[in-house]
Amino acid sequence: MENKSPLTEDQEHSLNTLTTITESLESLKGMSSLLSQFSSLFSSMVKELKTATPAKDAEETEDADLTAELEDQCDSLSDKFELY
């Protein structure tokens, strides 16, 4: 059997560098996957927002109904107390 000689300092440094690069690449693959998932999620949210009826319309309808109700009450009170 042949004994393996220990790694030289340069070889050990190169091996550590390669290990670090490999870990970084694996991490980047994970980040890429995560970014793809977020992109898909945001894309579906945008589609939903584009097709959804804006909430402002509902608020405007509520405001219009409330305004009409208040005007009716005002007219009723005006008639009762002859304010106009």
Q: What is the pTM of this model?
A: 0.41
Residue ranges with strand state E in 11-78: none
The residue ranges of every structural domain in the chain are 10-52, 53-84
Per-residue buried b or exposed e for 41-53, using 16+ beta carbons within 10 Å of the residue's own CB: eeeeeeeeeeeee
Q: pLDDT per position in the chain (84 positions), as tens?
A: 456 778 899 999 999 999 999 999 999 988 888 888 888 888 888 888 778 766 665 566 677 788 888 888 877 777 776 654
